[in-house]
Amino acid sequence: MGSLSLRAVSRRFRTDPGVQDLTLTVGSGEVVALVGLNGAGKTTLLKLALGMLRPDSGTVEIGGVPVERLAAAAWRDVGHLVDGPALYGELTVRQNLLLAARMRGVAASVVESSIADLVLERFADRRASQLSLGNGQRAALAMALQHGPGVLVLDEPGNALDPSGILLLRDRIVERKAEGAAVLVSSHHLDEVARIADRIVVMNRGRLIGELEPGSGDLERALFDRVRRDDIALGAS
């Protein structure tokens, strides 16, 4: 079981305000969806959560341990897909998955199960550089999921997936949740995340500005209205 916490986290860039005073917790067996317009800061937040960026202030913890003190063995319990598929193009799908399994310290036997879970049998021995965008995304998701992570961070995981791929992704996330994983996922597919998310958190201009109810009506309209009201409030301040 995993958990992920960001407390009063800020990160600024020379030409971008970055993210400001973010506090967010994802508990064991919880799926939190992060939504917002392009440029809201979602990917920056996810990179901070994974230790790929260090905050200027605030703390990030995985399993109650600050990420800068997290042992290598603990990182093996984290799965992620951020900034698109990180596949070695000259290796086949199977070879990429075997390498990832070795790095995570899990048995090579998980690879065949992972290939089946993401319906990659036809492409298992094809070089990653020869995959379509959708199948490359499936392979990258297999890498992020095959070791059964207790913390899972996904940035737009539905990108380039066809409807069958979206259904597979939904099932895999639900499985991780049932196993006690803490799942943080950003997405533009509000209708899809609403099916699996326990909470939907709205981000705008590097700040968390509230939540949407997953079971409510027109989520896209609610998102745009929430962002518009925030923009108006910022303009008036």
d(Cα 196, Cα 62) in Å, to the nearest integer? 22
Tell how far CA 61 is from the center of its chain: 16
Those residues whose C-beta lies under 8 Å from the C-beta of residue 138, and which sit 6 or more positions away, are 118, 119, 120, 161, 165, 168
Residue pLDDT, tens place only, 103-154: 999 999 999 999 999 999 999 999 999 999 999 999 999 999 999 999 999 9
Residue pLDDT, tens place only, 5-48: 999 999 999 888 899 999 999 999 999 999 999 999 999 999 99
Asked if the model's pLDDT at residue 236 lies above 60, the reply is no
pTM of the entire predicted model: 0.94
d(Cα 8, Cα 89) in Å, to the nearest integer? 39
Residue pLDDT, tens place only, 178-230: 999 999 999 988 888 899 999 999 999 999 999 999 988 789 999 999 999 99
User: Quick one: pLDDT at residue 237?
Assistant: 53
d(Cα 121, Cα 42) in Å, to the nearest integer? 33
Burial degree of 64 (CB within 10 A; 0-12, 13-18, 19+): exposed
CA atoms within 13 A on the CB side of 166: 16
Domains, the chain, in order of start with CATH, read: 4-236 (3.40.50.300)
